[in-house]
Amino acid sequence: MTNRRNFIKTATIASVAVALNSFKAEAEENELPAIKKSVRKPIVLSTWRFGIQANEAAWNVLKNNGRALDAVEAGVKIPEGDPEERSVGYGGRPDRDGRVTLDACIMDELSNIGSVGCLEFIKHPISVARAVMEKTPHVMLVGEGALSFALTQGFKKENLLTKESEKEWKEWLKTSQYKPIANIENHDTIGMIALDTNGNLSGACTTSGMAFKMHGRLGDSPIIGAGLYVDNEVGAATATGHGEEVIRISGSNLVVELMRQGHSPQKACEEAVARIVKLMNNRKKNLKDIQVGFIALNKEGEYGSYCVQGGFNYAVCDATGNRLIDAEYFLKS
Ligand code: ASP
């Protein structure tokens, strides 16, 4: 009798244990896709076709478990240092006075920020922005102040106006008409956002701005919240195109806030572009005259992009490779 009772007791405990185990297994099975979804890292995204090469440099940092901040700085330095790239750093097109003035900003996972605007003679403004972030009590330095600071930090003073850019500027002076044409006059910025193996986000953004702009003009690219924004709890976004329109809607911050509200990176970029479209319409401006593109990345490593009109592309690099993607766009005709 005792034996029988013990047998029943043991059998009952065993079957409860089996049931519990299978319940646990089922629960784990159910959770698996969610876990898988959250491990899409490291990953790096950047604007335009020069993003491919820039991503390679960033990937070298990310694949060795490096910090996203180091990755984005190393990445955007590639087009900055390339005189063939006529819209970023060395070789960038000048303003209407023939001066190459550069804008850049950087933001890390702790919301440390640094930025330079209208900086002349320094090939890598992104590194000066990082120095502003790490070595000053400020977040933004412009013009002569930014240059003096850069020189104290050991950056070399160089002529950034190449023969080609000078030639184009002299040609432009003949008409002196400031009429940037979307996707044709090459004014593209490199914006880069990355998620590292520790799950931390950072971003960088650097440009020579709109060719033949007024001297002293700042675009969106050195403005945290406009050209770039990172929130390590949510995601990161960066912008390219007509900076005035991006600033008007605090573009990159808007994209990140839309992701915080639950939108996917793709949908957040679409909503931000819709906001630009609405304001252009309200102001009776022709949408065909402008281009703005956003790229966005969230904490799960999901990404998206959207722009006003066709022609904008971006580069994505993760464990599956490095590729150029044509962004979806609003203006179909
Ligand atoms: N956003 C840059 C600026 O307004 C230019 C660009 O990305 O095309 O200076």
**Domain limits, the chain:** 1-31, 43-331
Compute, in angstroms, the gap from residue 20 CA to the centroid of ligand 1.
59
Question: Is any ligand 1 atom within 6 A of the Cβ of residue 210?
Answer: yes
Band of pLDDT at residue 11, cut at 50, 70 and 90: very low
Band of pLDDT at residue 179, cut at 50, 70 and 90: confident
Mean pLDDT of all residues in 1-30: 44
Whether residue 24 is predicted with pLDDT greater than 60 in this model: the reply is: no
Mean pLDDT of all residues in 65-80: 98
Question: Is any ligand 1 atom within 6 A of the Cβ of residue 291?
Answer: no
Band of pLDDT at residue 177, cut at 50, 70 and 90: confident
Assess whether 10 carries a catalytic annotation: no
**Which one of 47, 101, 162, 189 is the catalytic residue?**
189
At 141 the pLDDT is 98
Question: Is any ligand 1 atom within 6 A of the Cβ of residue 108?
Answer: no
The model's pLDDT over 43-71, given as tens digits with 9 standing for 90+, comes to 999 999 999 999 999 999 999 999 999 99
Whether residue 178 is predicted with pLDDT greater than 80 in this model: the reply is: yes
Identify the three-state secondary structure at position 119: strand
- 95 to 35, 105, 295: CA distances (angstroms): 50, 20, 27
Residue of 8 and 322 predicted with greater confidence: 322
Atom of ligand 1 nearest to the CA of 218: 9
Band of pLDDT at residue 333, cut at 50, 70 and 90: confident
Give the closest residue to 62 by CA, choosing from 327, 325, 304, 301. Answer: 301
Band of pLDDT at residue 183, cut at 50, 70 and 90: low
Let me know: does 232 contact 200? Beta carbons within 8 Å. yes
At 7 the pLDDT is 43
Which two tokens mark 249? 């809607």
Question: Is any ligand 1 atom within 6 A of the Cβ of residue 243?
Answer: yes
Mean pLDDT of all residues in 298-326: 97
Whether residue 35 is predicted with pLDDT greater than 80 in this model: the reply is: no
Band of pLDDT at residue 38, cut at 50, 70 and 90: low
The stretches of the chain forming alpha helices (DSSP H) are: 2-37, 51-62, 68-81, 125-135, 143-152, 163-173, 243-248, 251-260, 265-282
Compute, in angstroms, the gap from residue 241 CA to the centroid of ligand 1.
4
Pairing of strands 321-326, 201-207: unpaired
How high does pLDDT run on average in the chain? Answer: 90
- 282 to 251, 273, 279, 296, 297: CA distances (angstroms): 18, 14, 5, 26, 30
Let me know: does 193 contact 78? Beta carbons within 8 Å. no
Question: Is any ligand 1 atom within 6 A of the Cβ of residue 203?
Answer: no
The model's pLDDT over 241-281, given as tens digits with 9 standing for 90+, comes to 999 999 999 999 999 999 999 999 999 999 999 999 999 99
Mean pLDDT of all residues in 130-140: 98
CATH superfamily for domain 43-331: (Glycosyl)asparaginase (3.60.20.30)
